[in-house]
Amino acid sequence: MNKIEAQKLLDDAELLTSAEEVKRAVARMAQEIAAELKGEFPVVLAVMGGAAVFTGHLLPLLNFPLEFGAIEVTRYGNTTQGREITWRLAPKDNVKGRIVLVVDDILDEGITLSAIHDKLKEMGAKKVYSAVFADKDLGRKKPIAAEFVGITVPNRYVFGFGMDAYGLWRNLPAIYMLKD
């Protein structure tokens, strides 16, 4: 995709959540997470690359000590269809016996987040929480639910605030939907 096509993708998209609404959702989530993890010393793992933007906004709002790291696991690559899970950066062994908070951009079908939880539990994590900025309403049960959710989005392909469309537009401060 070239620059003109990328711009057309955004121009044709529908605004779902404004930048101001995004900020309010992140602030609310930070309060909820702080209330739940008060007194803990968790390992916070950002799922790269989608969670980079969300994590960058969330971490400064968390008012407790934490250890930060990243993992990278994907089912999408630069496509809009999920495939087999690929681990690019596995969790470190510092999760053993610890509370872990996994931060991700979107809970879509739940397959990736479920695999992350399974891996962390296998590695000895004491408890695993999930914070996702967006939870997609698929109209059916998922294999996992996030404890902390910023917004619920319809069953459409969404992008912005860390989520991409064909590898593009993660840098947007608002959330958009692709045309049907």
pLDDT at 93 over 90: no
Q: How confident is the model at residue 81 (pLDDT cuts 50, 70, 90)?
A: low
Tell me which DSSP letter residue 177 carries.
Answer: E
Place of tokens 């931060």: 103
Selected catalytic residue, list 104, 108, 135, 164: 108
Task: Summarize pLDDT for 125-148 with one digit per residue, the tens.
Answer: 999 999 999 999 999 999 999 999
Could you tell me where the beta strands, DSSP code E, fall in the chain?
A: 14-17, 43-48, 67-74, 86-89, 99-107, 127-136, 148-153, 158-159, 175-177
CA 64 to each of CA 35, 42, 94, 96: distance values in angstroms, whole numbers, following the listed order? 10, 9, 18, 20
Where is average pLDDT lowest: 92-96, 112-116, 132-136, 173-177? 92-96
Per-residue pLDDT of 8-51, as tens digits, reads 999 999 999 999 999 999 999 999 999 999 999 999 999 998 89
Residue 108 annotated among the catalytic residues of the structure: yes
pLDDT value at residue 77: 53
Bridge pairing between strands 86-89 and 67-74: antiparallel
Tell me the pLDDT tens digit for each residue of 56-74. Answer: 999 999 999 999 999 998 7
Say yes or no: domain 3-177 is CATH 3.90.1300.10.
Answer: no
- Helix, strand or coil, per DSSP, at residue 28: helix
Least confident span in 47-51, 66-70, 98-102, 103-107: 47-51
pTM to 2 decimal places: 0.91
